[in-house]
Structure 1
Amino acid sequence: MANKSINIGLIQMSSSSVVEDNLKKAEKLIAQSVSDGAEMVVLPETFALMEKYNGQKLDFVEPHLEGPIQSWMQRVAKEYRVALVGGTIAIQSSVADRPFARCYVWDEQGELITYYDKIHMFDVAVKDDEVYSESDNTLAGYQTRSFDYRGIKFGLSVCYDLRFPELYRKYQAESVNVILAPSAFTLKTGEVHWQLLLQARAVENLCFMVAANQTGVHDNKRKTFGHSMFVGPWADVLGALGDEEGYINQTLEIGQIDTIKKRFPVHTHRRL
Structure 2
Amino acid sequence: MMSDSKRIKIGLIQLSSSSDIDENLKAAEKLIKDSVSDGAEMVVLPETFALMEKYNGQKLDFVEPPGQGKIQDWMKRVAKENQVALVGGTIAVESEIKERPYARCYVYAPDGSVITHYDKIHMFDVAVKDDEVYSESANTLAGYETKTFEFKDIKFGLSVCYDLRFPEVYRLYQKQNVEVILAPSAFTLQTGKVHWNLLLQARAVENLCFVVAPNQTGLHDNKRKTYGHSLFVGPWGDVLAEMDNQVGYINHEIDTQQINAIKKRFPVHTHRKL
Instruction: Give the SS at the match of 2:240.
Output: strand
Aligned partner of residue 140 in structure 2, secondary structure: coil
Number of equivalenced pairs: 272
What is the match of residue 255 of structure 2?
253
- TM-score under structure 2 length normalisation: 0.99
Cα distance, 1:243 vs. partner? 0.3
What is the distance in 1 between the residues matched to 2:152 and 2:5? Answer: 12
- Provide Cα deviations, 1:123-180, integer angstroms capped at 9, x if missing partner: 0000000000000000000000000111000000000000000000000000000000
Cα distance between partner residues in 2 of 1:30 and 1:182: 15
Match of 1:268?
270
Match of 2:141 in 1: 139
Q: Distance in 2 between matches of 1:148 and 1:9?
A: 17
Residue of structure 2 equivalent to 1:99: 101
In the TM superposition, structure 1's runs of 4+ consecutive aligned residues that sit over 6 Å from their partners are none
1:233 aligns with: 235
Amino acid paired to 1:44? P
Q: Distance in 2 between matches of 1:36 and 1:67?
A: 29
Return the letter of the residue paired with 2:113.
Answer: E
Q: Deviations over 1:40-87 (max 9, x none)?
A: 000000000000000100010000001010000000000000000000
Residue 31 of structure 1 is matched in structure 2 by 33
CA–CA separation in structure 1 for the residues paired with 2:211 and 2:192: 16
SS in 1 for 2:35: helix
Distance in 2 separating the partners of 1:2 and 1:223: 42
TM-superposed CA distance for 1:250, in Å, is 0.2
Letter in 2 for 1:3: S
**Counterparts of 1:2 and 1:225, CA distance in 2:** 36
Match of 2:202 in 1: 200
1:52 matched to which residue of 2? 54
Q: 1:22 aligned to 2:24?
A: yes
How far the C-alpha of 1:2 sits from its partner, in A, is 2.7
Instruction: Give SS of 1:169's match.
Output: helix
Determine helix, strand or coil for the equivalent of 1:239: strand
Shift of 1:217: 0.2
* Counterpart mapping for 1:90-169 below 5 A: 90-169=92-171
Identify which of 51, 54, 62 aligns with 2:64.
62
How far apart in 2 are the matches of 1:62 and 1:135? 18
Of all paired residues, the percent bearing the same amino acid is: 73
| Structure 1 residue 183 displacement after superposition | 0.1
Q: CA deviation at 1:203?
A: 0.3
TM-score by length of 1: 1.00
Q: Aligned Cα RMSD in Å? A: 0.4
CA distance in 2, matches of 1:161, 1:55: 21
How big is each residue's C-alpha offset from its partner over 1:199-255, in whole Å with a ceiling of 9 and x where there is no partner? Answer: 000000000000000000000000000000000000000000000000000000111
1:76-102, CA deviations, whole angstroms, 9 ceiling, x for partnerless residues? Answer: 000000000000000000000000000
Helix, strand or coil: the match of 1:160? helix
Aligned residue for 2:47, secondary structure, equals coil
Counterpart-to-counterpart distance in 1, 2:256 and 2:66: 32
